[in-house]
């Protein structure tokens, strides 16, 4: 069997309502030179049954994880992957039909080692578009300040480079993408951005928790990276799982606390 060019690695946890859109977008790709690896850990809904329903449409492997952890599940997928490139993508994202086609051209022309693309929001609301634009600018800024992030929603990375740095650090339950980017850079690999909007970024967490709370987390988490080149491993209240978004109830926004107090609490983790 021919080795696929890409291994699409998707961690899931209770994603039965969201994963079909991503898998449908993979079925619709104009170039099909990839395998799909879903690492589920451990869903209590029908995620596994939904995923297995695509076995006839996609070259798909389903792996079970003993616990829900983004770095662990991504690493499990990578260990089983056969592709020359790993594409790590969140289960609630949607790829444009020409995603694979465009990143192949980008790889051939620019010879990157790890990269992402611009994103589009999952709505046509102006404030969602503005927030997504700011997020794209944020990815760009990490290149300028030499603090690269391997963005959680979508990272494409050369398989050999990924394995050479040991993959994701499973001690992280937050900022595992920042940590990976910094370790790849330390090996001499430069982060780059394909400046085309090739996937739809789900804003479900931002809608539920509120833009101010999420922006507050971004700022707090980047300060140690800017100053010490060390990312936080934990963020209080940050959890994964599609079940968190099954209801329309919003989490009440917390009043912004003192940056100094919060940063002191979070910085303890860096110097343990």
pLDDT digits (tens, 9 = 90+) for 94-113: 999 999 999 999 999 999 99
Residue 258 has pLDDT above 50, yes or no: no
Q: Is pLDDT at 51 greater than 90 in this prediction?
A: yes
- Pairwise pLDDT comparison (192 vs 204), residue with the higher score: 192
Non-local (6+) Cβ contacts of 182 within 8 A are 147, 148, 225, 229, 231
Q: Please count the structural domains in the chain.
A: 1
What is the maximum span of the chain, computed from C-alpha positions, in angstroms?
57
What's the average model confidence in pLDDT over 23-29?
Answer: 98
From the number of C-beta atoms within 10 Å of its C-beta (0-12, 13-18, 19+), residue 257 rates as exposed
**96 in a domain, yes or no?**
yes
Q: Residue 160 belongs to what domain range?
A: 6-203
pLDDT tens track for 57-87: 999 999 999 998 999 999 999 999 999 999 9
Strands (E), the chain: 6-12, 34-40, 60-64, 85-89, 94-95, 114-121, 154-158, 191-201
Whether 216 is in a domain gets the answer: no
Res. 131: pLDDT tops 50: yes
Determine, yes or no, domain membership for 254: no
Instruction: Classify residue 253: in a domain, yes or no.
Output: no
Query: What CATH number is given to the structural domain containing 70?
Result: 3.90.550.10
Return mean pLDDT, the chain: 86
Question: For tokens 């690492």, what's the residue?
Answer: 39
Which tokens belong to 230? 């060390």
Can you tell me the distance from the alpha carbon of 88 to that of 237, in angstroms, rounded to the nearest whole number? 23
């Amino acid at each position: 069997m021919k080795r696929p060019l890409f291994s699409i690695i998707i961690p899931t946890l209770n994603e039965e309502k969201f994963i079909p859109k991503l898998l449908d977008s993979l079925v619709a790709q104009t170039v099909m030179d990839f395998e799909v690896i879903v690492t589920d850990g451990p869903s209590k809904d029908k995620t596994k049954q939904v995923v297995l329903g695509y076995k006839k449409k996609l070259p798909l492997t389903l792996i079970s994880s003993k616990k829900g952890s983004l770095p662990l599940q991504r690493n499990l997928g990578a260990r089983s992957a056969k592709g020359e490139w790993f594409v790590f993508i969140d289960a609630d994202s949607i790829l444009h039909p020409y995603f694979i086609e465009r990143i192949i051209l980008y790889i051939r022309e620019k010879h990157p080692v790890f990269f992402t693309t611009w994103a589009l929001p999952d709505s046509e609301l102006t404030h969602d578009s503005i927030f997504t634009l700011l997020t794209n600018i944020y990815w760009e800024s990490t290149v300028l300040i030499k603090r690269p992030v391997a963005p959680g929603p979508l990272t494409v990375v050369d398989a050999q480079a990924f394995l050479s740095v040991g993959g994701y650090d499973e001690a992280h339950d937050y900022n595992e993408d920042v940590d990976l980017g910094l370790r790849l850079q330390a090996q001499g690999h430069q982060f780059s951005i394909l400046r085309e909007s090739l996937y739809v970024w789900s804003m479900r967490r931002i809608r539920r928790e509120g833009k101010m709370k999420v922006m507050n987390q971004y700022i707090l988490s980047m300060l140690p990276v800017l100053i010490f080149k060390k990312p936080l491993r934990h963020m209080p209240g940050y959890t994964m799982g599609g079940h968190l978004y099954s209801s329309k109830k919003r989490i009440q926004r917390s009043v912004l606390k003192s940056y100094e107090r919060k940063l002191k609490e979070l910085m303890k983790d860096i110097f343990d």
